[in-house]
Structure 1
Amino acid sequence: MPPILATLCWLLLWLLPGPAAAGLPPSVFSDGGYLLSKDGRLLLAHNHEQALVPASTWKIATGLMALEQLGPDFRFATELYRTNGALYIKGFGDPMLISEEVAAISAALAAAGISEINDIVLDDSFFQLEQANPAGSAASLRSYDAANGALVVNFNTAKIEVRADGTVHSAEPQTPTLPIMQQWAGKLPPGVHRINLSHTPAASLRYSGELFKYLFAARDIRVTGKLRHGRLPAGAELIYRHHSARTLAETVEAMLLYSNNFIANQLFLVAAAKGGDNPATWGKARVNLHDYLLELGLPPGSFRVDEGSGLSRDNRISPDALHLLLQHFRPYAELLPHWEGRLVKSGTLNGVYAYAGYFRGPEQLDPFVLILQQTANTRDRALEIMEGHWQNATGSAAPYPDHNQ
């Protein structure tokens, strides 16, 4: 169904009689909104036109946009150049540039016969962010507050162990213990912690540079110079282009499963730079997702874009619009987390408890949206009640516009 026709059907729906089934009881629902359909028939709806805070269910929008604009088989690249003895590493926003990938890059350079490097120069100019941290995040050691960037390793976080004697060590075998870990561990108590190492853009680049340097050393590649920030000069020789081991579809699946805010905003930014429209900025990314959702047929005013992860409370989407988005997401539905026979993405902020996804019907996947904006987190019970309505539904409910119909 063309987007404009879908929008007309969406608007005309509400001229029809509402569903006969009772809504969610007050014991589980006091504020928010929800929507449920089955086989293209509307079963339950409440406050369905109100744009609400979606929390991490917003990642469905970001994931769909990235999959459609970049392609599910897209792989992120990181490029390495040499000039005047220096090695330039240029990042393009790979959200999965983890220690294993850096080790693979190190192995490739060693196999190419490179044994000595002067300076390591880190080029993150593919992003030119108005601020490093996405809207809704805070300056903290918490991993979900990690900043974004074009050349970032390990999600800008490190898993460390603080031992009883106060010494700091990497808690992951694939990641060496780096000087920056010891500096930022601060006064953490003994134990294992995952901390954010991106308090400033300089700290983020330092972390990336140290990881490359130490993993180069593991391959007997000696670095005689310093780590520094810079832009790739004209005429530098490309010596290696590394492609991520993961496809974009696999990256989106990981983002949805772990509800990773960093990955979501990397995708949000990189999609905005498609077709050579770089550098990426937060402003470009907001416009790109906003325009994409309009192209899908989501009505103006039914959503608002602030960032890509759902961390910001200034993101908004109505249950109607999120239900329509789920219809478009059906080709990628299996990327959603699987939970007790359902495909579902959760979302949680203080006072916001959401689920969005699909119940599995015999012929198709039936979308549901549940956004609670209340003190009590009763979303599990609310979803069970919605699923009961779905299981017991007959064909008497009001028609609902569905792209599969």
Structure 2
Amino acid sequence: MMNRNALLSVLKSLFMILAFGLVLLPHIADGVDLTYKERISRLVVNGSYTATKDGKTIFSYNSDTRFIPASIWKLTTALAALETLGKDYHFKTEFYQDNAHNLYIRGYGDPSLISEEIDIIFKALKKMGVSEINNIYLDNIRFEIPQITPGVSKSLNPYDVENSALAVNFNTIYFSVDQNGAITSAEKQTPTLSIMKEMGKGFKSGKHRINISKSRKNISRYVGELFRAIQERNGITRKGTSSEKEVPKDLDPLYVHYSSKALYEVIREMLFYSSNYTANQIFLTLGATAYGYPATWEKSSRFMRGYLDKNFPSSSKEMIFDEGSGISRNNLITATAMLEVLERFRPYAELLPLEKGRYIKSGTLNGVYTYAGYFNNKGNHDSFVIILNQKMNNRDRVLDLMEKWYRGFSK
């Protein structure tokens, strides 16, 4: 049996071990943090990252240096639209008819003017008693954007589409080529059009979606052909042709169509598909709403600068942009500024795609790889940002390490 002195000696030793452990504990924790930091630093050659816990920044690197954000910039445009236009905002398109049964269509930049929506329009017109349409005239003057969209190239890729006040199906055509080279529409809601057969020549067998907007004439041609085809599908007699023409000043609207989708859903789809076209339709609409139509890039940039200065006074100067989608390499932002956007966007977090339990938006350009979103913290949303402007795309590995690091803070 242990005597009193031996027992006291053992207890004293245990106390010293415990005290020594408590002294070392912060350093051990630092070692764990440093391990994550070191592992991430090997992956981030030129970029930045940061994350929050309960609204407070828990770690960051290079977060006050500007980098190209790519498509995570769409969150800024989306936030401005939700707070300015409201989540229940609906884009409109106006329809007029003269005494000669000519139909005039005036566009206001509805990004969701797709085949299904046009079918709804003709059903509404038919219900109003429209049984004959001769010429179709397209009024596209509500957007005054003669220059190309900043950042886009002349490719046929859908992400390089131009913007327009009146456009259909995101200024893209979706067609199928069979083994014999025959071209048909690749979706049942859209009839096969002559523009598909013309632009689809030379493509391999299979399904293809291409950008038709490199020629402004193609934009109007596509609108005219699609409206004509769906008009016939709805049994409304047709004569004449389609062409661009402004609505006469003495005509009153016959019908004003408001998009079936509210802005909230438009933005959800924009973020899911990362639609540059939709983002810039919204961006241009913001400027026109603030300063009047016609919409211009200058008005929209002026609006956005004012919005950022008002709502992000400490970081507005770190946000540089010339369009609303992130396709332009002239757009720049710091991780800290992006974090502020995410903090304000938190009520709309569920608009973001959900992947591996994270609400997340990605951005990709050649040599640009970004993420912005939220970790799930027992039903709450904690923000994170990764901006890599480098050759190697390590963002997934960086994000996994960041989440493990973050979870250590969350315990």
The answer (yes or no) to whether the contact 1:152–1:204 under 8 Å persists in 2 is yes
CA distance in 2, matches of 1:243, 1:110: 17
Instruction: Tell me, in whole angstroms, the C-alpha distance in 1 between the residues paired with 2:258 and 2:38.
Output: 48
CA positional deviation for 1:345: 0.4
Q: Does 1:305 align with 2:305?
A: no
Q: Give matches, 1:4-403, under 5 Å.
A: 21-22=33-34, 23=37, 25=39, 26-85=41-100, 86-131=102-147, 133-275=148-290, 277-298=292-313, 299-362=315-378, 364-393=380-409
Greater mean alpha carbon deviation, residues 23-32 or residues 74-83: 23-32
Name the SS of the counterpart of 1:231 in structure 2. coil
Q: Deviations over 1:130-159 (max 9, x none)?
A: 32x311111121111111101110000011
Local SS of the residue matching 1:150 = coil
Structure possessing the higher relative contact order (Cα contacts under 8 Å, 6 or more residues apart): 1
CA contact (8 A) 1:43 1:389 kept: no
Give the 3-state SS of the residue equivalent to 2:260 in structure 1: coil
Q: TM-score, normalised by structure 1?
A: 0.90
Whether contact under 8 Å (1:87, 1:119) holds in the other structure is yes
Larger radius of gyration: 2
Q: Aligned equivalents of 1:363 and 1:157: distance in 2?
A: 39
C-alpha separation between the residues in 1 aligned to 2:155 and 2:366? 17
On the 8 A contact 1:24/1:382 being kept in 2, the answer is no
For residues 119 and 234 of structure 2, the distance between their equivalents in structure 1, rounded to whole angstroms, comes to 9
Output the CA distance in 1 between the equivalents of 2:166 and 2:231: 17
Hey, what's the Cα distance between the residues in 1 that align with 2:254 and 2:85? 25
Q: For the residues of structure 2 that align with 1:312 and 1:363, how far apart are their CA atoms?
A: 35
Amino acid corresponding to residue 114 of structure 2 in structure 1: I
RMSD, aligned α-carbons: 1.6
Shift of 1:327: 0.9
Identity %: 43
* CA deviation map 1:100-144 (0-9, x unaligned): 00011111111222111121000111100032x311111121111
Give the CA deviation at 1:24.
5.3
Provide the secondary structure at the position in 1 that maps to 2:130.
coil
More helix by share: 2
CA–CA distance in 2 between the matches of 1:341 and 1:379?
A: 17
Shift of 1:41: 2.8
Q: In the TM superposition, what is the alpha-carbon distance from 1:252 to its structure 2 partner?
A: 0.3
2: CA distance between counterparts of 1:281 and 1:78?
A: 18
Deviation of 1:275 after TM superposition, in Å, equals 4.8
More deviation, 372-381/70-79: 372-381
Whole-angstrom distance in 1 between the partners of 2:379 and 2:137: 55
* Aligned counterparts of 1:72 and 1:41: Cα–Cα separation in 2: 28
| Cα distance in 1 between the residues matched to 2:119 and 2:382 | 43
Cα offset, 1:223, TM superposition: 2.1
Match of 2:26 in 1: none
| Structure 1 consecutive aligned stretches of length 4 or more whose deviation exceeds 4 Å | none
